[in-house]
Amino acid sequence: TQLLEQSPQFLSIQEGENLTVYCNSSSVFSSLQWYRQEPGEGPVLLVTVVTGGEVKKLKRLTFQFGDARKDSSLHITAAQPGDTGLYLCAGARNQGGKLIFGQGTELSVKP
């Protein structure tokens, strides 16, 4: 049973396009993290959201935590080839708890 459903799993777009990645669950999370991973490397933390309805921006990336803290989204504006990578969402049921990962979204941005 996948507790955190991430979609889409694969996304190939042209430079300059916008995209949104979703993470959905029927469970409530105390926090949700988004990571980006490049081949052969470990995931790099992009953002942590902890409050329902919270929106955080990181340059062209916008992260949102659902009001009920069951879902989250990552929106990238004007994607660039450097955004290519595996994006992972991960939720924690409680502070200090283990992370539950989504399936990941493999993003490819073509010039």
Partner 1 sequence: GAVVSQHPSWVICKSGTSVKIECRSLDFQATTMFWYRQFPKQSLMLMATSNEGSKATYEQGVEKDKFLINHASLTLSTLTVTSAHPEDSSFYICSARPRGYEQYFGPGTRLTVT
Binding residues vs partner 1 (CB under 8 A): 6, 30-31, 33, 35, 40-45, 48, 50, 86, 88, 90, 92, 95-96, 98-99, 101-104, 106
The smaller minimum CB distance to partner 1, of residues 48 and 84, is found at 48
Of residues 42 and 82, the one with the C-beta less far from partner 1: 42
DSSP for 5-33, please give it. EEE-SEEEEETT--EEEEEE-SS--SEEE
CB-nearer residue toward partner 1: 73 or 106: 106
The nearer residue to partner 1, 38 or 77, going by C-beta atoms, is 38
Q: What is the DSSP string of 40-59?
A: TS--EEEEEE-STT-EEEET
Cβ 104 to partner 1 shortest distance, Å:
4
Indicate the DSSP class of residue 95. Answer: T
Residue carrying structure tokens 């409050």: 51
State the minimum distance, in angstroms, from the CB of residue 78 to partner 1: 26
CB of 14 to partner 1, least distance (A): 22
CB 26 within 8 A of CB 70: yes
Q: What are phi and psi of 83, to 5 degrees?
A: -85, -10
